[in-house]
């Protein structure tokens, strides 16, 4: 309102000034009335032209990128420029805040452990995070706006996407054939789709392992149970002679021992998996461990093998005594069981030069193991020769236990073997869990 009045006043002022000036000039030649008319017209024209020039300057600014401030004219156009510029800057700030929110949102989706992919109504890729690109083998930039089904060679997923029933996730093999993907599709908006992908390779592997494990345990228990059930049936129907009785009872005892050993090993494994790592401050006497392992091995060998112990280091170990005894015992029991009578077994306790790791080594001159089996020896129930293992009381869990124990103590299990020549198993314990015996003696008896 004020601005309109101002512009009216400017026009009237122009008109009055023009008319006055025209009248003055015209009065010299007796044409004062004409002069006033022409002067008024010119006055209004000047005011109009000035307004037009300001409007043109403002329009010019509006047409541009508005990177510079709006023209700062006085009056109407100055005020319009100021207000338009303020509104523009406000909108810019709001847009920038929106953009920042969107960036944060996308960053959050990028950080998601799952793949996120947005499809338009024609199943073309609108956007995807790096994880989804990795899962589907896509290039987020190059493949944008491409039809997803043209880029994937996964018939199960393509059929799922085209089927339109998205209640359940679909599973299929990833683009390089190494992963299993679980993908969930959700529709939203006007035919748009949100595709969530998850790498379930590890979960599948664990499921398979669990199934195999249950099948193996059932199989291992069923065999001796079937034998026992057979004996029980026989005993129920046929009275045994005094000569047969001890033989049958002995066979039954063997089968129950087999089940017992298996259950013991299973419980040991379960305990190893479910308990925290042994502390590095509980010192165990290596002498005691070695003595027990050697006595047990000699009992098992019953003089059939030539057993030697070489204590090349005077160090103790930090860890769980029971676990360490079980690991050493398992290696020695294997050496006895897989070395024919008359063979030699060498046990050595030493310090490795350079890094100070303690090494427990069992070397035998037994049947040895072919190279292709070496990497699988520590798998549960993996046996190179199943019947020899069972005949000698093996459960197929010994080396799995050994590996668990040594890993829980921060060390590693090493195996070298050659068929027909023998095997060498080593438990390597880190220097942090090794202590010189003299230091230990000093600590306890200062």
Task: Write out the residues near ligand ADP by the rule CB under 6 A.
Answer: 330, 334-335, 338, 364, 366-369, 377, 382-385, 389, 394-400, 423
Smaller CB separation from ligand ADP, 135 or 383: 383
- Cα-to-chain-centroid distance, residue 80: 58
**Rounded to an integer, what distance in angstroms lies between the CA atom of residue 320 and that of residue 433?**
11
Enumerate residues 6+ apart whose C-beta is below 8 A from 27. Answer: 35
- Minimum CB separation from ligand ADP for residue 429, in Å? 20
Buried b (16+ CB within 10 A) or exposed e, 26-60: beeeeebeebbbbbbebbbeebeeebeebeeebee
3-state secondary structure of 215: helix
- Minimum CB separation from ligand ADP for residue 106, in Å? 50
Smaller CB separation from ligand ADP, 220 or 316: 220
- Minimum CB separation from ligand ADP for residue 358, in Å? 21
- Minimum CB separation from ligand ADP for residue 116, in Å? 44
How far CA 388 is from CA of 46, 367, 393, 396, in Å, comes to 117, 11, 9, 11
**Rounded to an integer, what distance in angstroms lies between the CA atom of residue 348 and that of residue 255?**
34
**Rounded to an integer, what distance in angstroms lies between the CA atom of residue 61 and that of residue 71?**
8
110's tokens: 């990028």
* N residues, the chain: 446
**Rounded to an integer, what distance in angstroms lies between the CA atom of residue 258 and that of residue 254?**
6
- Minimum CB separation from ligand ADP for residue 366, in Å? 5
Smaller CB separation from ligand ADP, 129 or 389: 389
Smaller CB separation from ligand ADP, 185 or 405: 405
Smaller CB separation from ligand ADP, 278 or 366: 366
φ, ψ of residue 262 in degrees (nearest 5): -60, -45
**Rounded to an integer, what distance in angstroms lies between the CA atom of residue 383 and that of residue 41?**
114
Number of neighbours of residue 330 by Cβ within 10 angstroms:
23
Smaller CB separation from ligand ADP, 84 or 415: 415
- The DSSP call for residue 342 is T
**Rounded to an integer, what distance in angstroms lies between the CA atom of residue 434 and that of residue 409?**
11
Contact 51, 73 (CB under 8 A): no
- Minimum CB separation from ligand ADP for residue 214, in Å? 18
Smaller CB separation from ligand ADP, 22 or 396: 396
- Minimum CB separation from ligand ADP for residue 389, in Å? 3
- Minimum CB separation from ligand ADP for residue 369, in Å? 5
Number of neighbours of residue 236 by Cβ within 10 angstroms:
8
- Minimum CB separation from ligand ADP for residue 395, in Å? 5
Smaller CB separation from ligand ADP, 154 or 397: 397
Smaller CB separation from ligand ADP, 326 or 389: 389
Pick from 421, 377, 376, 367: nearest CA to 399:
377
- Minimum CB separation from ligand ADP for residue 382, in Å? 6
Give 68: exposed, middle or buried? Use CB within 10 Å, 0-12, 13-18, 19+. exposed
Q: In what order do the strands lie in the sheet with 306-311?
A: 306-311, 344-351, 358-364, 422-429, 412-418
Smaller CB separation from ligand ADP, 161 or 307: 307
- Minimum CB separation from ligand ADP for residue 305, in Å? 12
Smaller CB separation from ligand ADP, 31 or 216: 216
């Amino acid at each position: 309102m004020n601005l309109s009045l101002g512009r009216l006043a400017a026009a009237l002022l122009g008109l009055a000034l023009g008319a006055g000036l025209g009248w003055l000039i015209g009065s010299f030649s007796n044409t004062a009335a004409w002069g006033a008319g022409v002067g008024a017209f010119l006055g209004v024209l000047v005011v109009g032209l000035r307004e037009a020039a300001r409007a043109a300057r403002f329009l010019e600014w509006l047409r541009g990128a508005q990177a510079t401030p709006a023209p700062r004219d006085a009056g109407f156009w100055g005020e319009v420029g100021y207000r338009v510029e303020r509104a523009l800057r406000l909108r810019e700030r709001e847009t920038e805040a929106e953009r920042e929110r969107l960036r944060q949102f996308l960053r959050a989706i990028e950080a998601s452990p799952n793949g996120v992919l947005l499809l338009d109504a024609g199943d073309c890729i609108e956007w995807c995070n790096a994880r989804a690109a990795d899962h589907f083998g896509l290039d987020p930039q190059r493949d944008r706006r491409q039809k997803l089904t043209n880029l994937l060679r996964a018939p199960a997923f393509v059929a799922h996407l085209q089927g339109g029933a998205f209640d359940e996730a679909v599973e299929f093999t990833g683009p390089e054939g190494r992963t299993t993907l679980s993908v969930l599709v959700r529709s939203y908006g006007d035919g748009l789709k949100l595709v969530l992908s998850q790498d379930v390779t590890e979960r599948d592997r664990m499921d398979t392992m669990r199934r195999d494990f249950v099948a193996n345990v059932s199989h291992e228990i069923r065999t001796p149970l079937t034998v026992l059930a057979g004996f029980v049936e026989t005993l129920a129907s046929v009275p045994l002679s005094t000569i047969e009785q001890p033989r049958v009872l002995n066979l039954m005892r063997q089968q129950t021992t087999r089940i017992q050993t298996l259950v013991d090993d299973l419980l040991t494994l379960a305990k190893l998996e479910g308990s925290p790592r042994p502390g590095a401050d509980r010192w165990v006497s290596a002498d005691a461990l070695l003595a027990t392992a050697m006595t047990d091995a000699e009992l098992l060998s019953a003089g059939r093998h030539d057993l030697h112990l070489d204590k090349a280091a005077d160090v103790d170990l930090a860890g769980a005594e029971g676990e360490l005894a079980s690991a050493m015992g398992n290696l020695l029991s294997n050496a006895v069981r897989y070395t024919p009578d008359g063979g030699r077994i060498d046990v050595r306790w030493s310090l490795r030069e350079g890094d100070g790791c303690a090494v427990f080594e069992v070397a035998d001159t037994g049947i040895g193991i072919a190279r292709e089996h070496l990497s699988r020896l520590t798998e549960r129930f993996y046996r190179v020769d199943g019947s020899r293992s069972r005949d000698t009381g093996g459960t197929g869990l010994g080396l799995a236990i050994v590996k668990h124990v040594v890993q829980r103590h921060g060390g590693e299990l090493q195996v070298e073997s050659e068929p027909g020549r023998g095997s060498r198993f080593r438990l390597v314990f880190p220097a942090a869990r090794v202590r010189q015996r003299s230091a230990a003696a000093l600590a306890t008896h200062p």
